[in-house]
């Protein structure tokens, strides 16, 4: 009987060496095994906003690993350029662009530059966001406005102008909105972040309805508290000094049913799926890559038996 095993492997595709997932069989490597490791996003142009070494950088590299040309966008020049540079050094195609996603003129200029450089856009990942916050009693209005402007309005502006280009060029694209488990649940001391991320969930559904007739799919992806090691190693790969390890107030790893926290590469795999033709009939959907955090019955502590 033939057995099928799933494992990770590094393959080289058109000079790119990235970490990808593929299937092999117990019959060994046959000439047609490479077909099982197909590159899902070959020829696609993707924009990723918020490309720090953590989630956004991981998603950008994951899309590049599946053959996409990636435009790395960040308000911090080092994040945009270093993310794009890492991809290019490995034989991929990438462009770093500095943009404040809350400024409509800058977003329009971003989309125009991508159009003029590559001809259009197939994938948009709205990841730019501001973490952290304060309680409803303590949140300054200026901080509230800035957090909602980046997290919510920035996503609206990027979606609006990229979708217009997709419609103009007749591209049946994919738009992905990065949310958070904090958008599904109330968290004390985080009023702005929770509110903005919750708003993105229904923004995704409404935008999906607006754009369905154009063949443009809009979905969200929900991360949770993320393992920090991969982001640290990515920062070092980008040429940065290794940051000092910082503790967390809560032991998130013991709170999720799967017993370990996701890493950016796990979110990247979800984004690749949503961006690819594998998800051609999926829109208005939230893909939770959260190790079971949201599904968990609230008083249950994993590892202690039943609730």
Evaluated on CA atoms 203, 206, 211, 215, the torsion sign reads: positive
Q: Check: CB of residue 256 under 8 Å from CB of residue 224.
A: yes
193 flagged as catalytic = yes
Closest by CA to 17, choosing from 95, 119, 89, 108, is: 89
Q: Check: CB of residue 221 under 8 Å from CB of residue 271.
A: yes
Distance CA 151, CA 146 (A): 9
Evaluated on CA atoms 111, 222, 265, 230, the torsion sign reads: positive
DSSP string of 224-292, one letter each residue: -S--SHHHHHHHHHTTPPPPPP---SS-GGGTSTTSS---HHHHHHHHHHHHSGGGTT--S-EEE-STT
Candidates 118, 193, 267, 297; catalytic one: 193
CA atoms within 13 A on the CB side of 80: 17
> Between vectors from CA 299 to CA 294 and to CA 301, what angle results, nearest 5°?
85
> Between vectors from CA 49 to CA 13 and to CA 154, what angle results, nearest 5°?
155
Kind plus residue range of the DSSP H or E element containing 10: strand 4-13
Q: Check: CB of residue 267 under 8 Å from CB of residue 297.
A: no
Report the catalytic residues: 193
């Amino acid at each position: 009987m033939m057995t099928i095993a799933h494992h990770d492997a590094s393959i080289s595709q058109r000079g790119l060496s990235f970490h990808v997932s593929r299937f092999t069989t117990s019959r060994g490597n046959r000439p047609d095994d490479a077909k099982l490791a197909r590159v899902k996003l070959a020829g696609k142009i993707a924009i990723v906003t918020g490309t720090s070494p953590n989630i956004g950088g991981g998603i950008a590299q994951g899309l590049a690993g599946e053959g996409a040309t990636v435009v790395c966008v960040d308000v911090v020049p080092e994040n945009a350029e270093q993310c794009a540079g890492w991809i290019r050094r490995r034989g991929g195609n990438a462009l770093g662009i500095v943009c404040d996603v809350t400024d409509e003129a800058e977003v329009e200029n971003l989309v125009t530059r991508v159009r003029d450089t590559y001809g259009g856009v197939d994938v948009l990942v709205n990841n730019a966001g501001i973490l952290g916050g304060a309680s409803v009693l303590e949140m300054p209005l200026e901080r509230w406005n800035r957090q909602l402007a980046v997290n919510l309005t920035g996503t609206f502006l990027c979606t609006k102008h990229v979708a217009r280009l997709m419609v103009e060029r007749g591209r049946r694209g994919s738009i992905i909105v990065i949310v958070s488990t904090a958008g599904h649940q109330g968290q004390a001391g985080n009023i702005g972040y929770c509110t903005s991320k919750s708003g993105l969930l229904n923004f995704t559904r409404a935008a999906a309805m607006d754009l369905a007739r154009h063949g443009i799919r809009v979905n969200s992806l929900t991360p949770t508290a993320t393992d920090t090691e991969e982001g640290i190693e990515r920062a070092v790969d980008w040429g940065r000094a290794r940051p000092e390890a910082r503790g967390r107030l809560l032991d998130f790893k013991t709170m999720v049913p799967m017993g370990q926290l996701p890493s950016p590469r796990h979110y990247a795999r979800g984004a690749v799926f949503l961006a690819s033709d594998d998800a051609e009939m999926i829109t208005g959907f939230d893909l939770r890559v959260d190790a079971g955090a949201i599904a968990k019955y609230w008083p249950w502590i994993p590892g202690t038996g039943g609730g």
